[in-house]
Structure 1
Amino acid sequence: MELELEHMRSILDEAIVETRSTPLENRPRLPPHSPKQAESGYREGSQPNAGYLFGSQPGPLRDGLNFFGAALAVCRIIGAKVSTAGRATGYSSAIPAWRRRIEERIAKARALIGRLICFRSGNNRPRIVRTVRMAFAGTNVSLSQPDITQKLTERIDDLKQRIAAWGKRIRRYTERSTRFNQNRLFQSDQKRLYESLERPMVSGTGPAPNQADTVAFWRGLWSEQVNHSEGPWTEVVASQCVGITPMDPVIITPDDVAEAVRRAPNWKKSGA
């Protein structure tokens, strides 16, 4: 009995360590019952064992990760089926069947376009001719008719339009899926969302700018006095604004800045 309990305890420790070191989207999927039901059922089925296994855990299962790890350990001990594919592999990263079918159609259409172009350019190999005949199967088009070149061009254009339509369908799905995942990630972990949106820094391949030239350029814009010739409309606007009381100057103190920063939510950029 002691060996069995030690074995179950090692399973529990491994499950908790695995849970803490694995991102949420890659954790294994538990059976339909909730972690609370799994832990409660195991306590009722073997109260002494459950007290030995779970009682000595730090903050006995009050931590959500410990709770999930305990449920995972229970499922493994009782032999319940646990998916090892992970949530991301089973859902977000999996390619839907309809998308695979569309991609297969696009690949076949592109291969057919290539053979039609070969036949139009004079390639009369048996395999090419057989493919062209299959492309026009069910129509009144004959490969020996005078306007076969025009028919081939029309067929190629039709296939290109279908490929474009299929591509737009996949693009719309990808954009919608990206927006959905970003909105869900914004609600759960804003830091990870902003990190995923950061673009990698691209360093220039050309020579570095000369410091003296850079200073001279900006000094010519900001340091030299420039006399601007204003139009007559400025005098009209100035005369109309004579009776307006100027606004009191706004003085921003360090306390005001500290209060504004304290009230701002996390990951809020300056000026927004």
Structure 2
Amino acid sequence: MRSKIFDDAELERLRREAIPSSNESAMAGDAAPYSTDQHPHVEAAMNLPVVVDSNDDEIVSHELEQMRSILEEAILETRSILLENRPRLPRIPSSKRNRAVVRDLNPMLVTYLEASRDLCETDSILFGAAVAVCHIIGAKLPMAGRATTQSNAIPA
């Protein structure tokens, strides 16, 4: 049985954000064409508002900046790693703190995802975000690559 990570209100908000309303799509037709050669802007990500729920461990702005920095670094690292060399992500327990970390990182992803040029880049952004969550909560990641044995060892 799967546990609910998001409540119904959060799921509905995500659905509204993912599916633009008819007004927004009509206005989008009048807008200038989207430039596909644009990269995510770090400055824009630094100015995103982050709502912190007072019931969740009261994460201060300094910690949010650290989280943003970890996210940025993880996304950049992920882009340079081949898909087959990415580490396997561990299962993380569903806890109030872990959900708060994910909730605080979600708005930071908007700038990166909007500037994503293709599915591969979107994949790198989302995988980088998952790696950032692991780093922030202290979950251990295996070294890059999925090999479980080291056959390169030189005998003594």
- TM-score category (smaller protein): 0.3 to 0.5
Q: Which has the higher contact order (CA 8 A, sep 6+)?
A: 2
TM-score normalized by structure 1?
0.27
Query: What TM-score, normalized by structure 2, do the two folds share?
Result: 0.45
The structure number with the bigger radius of gyration is 1
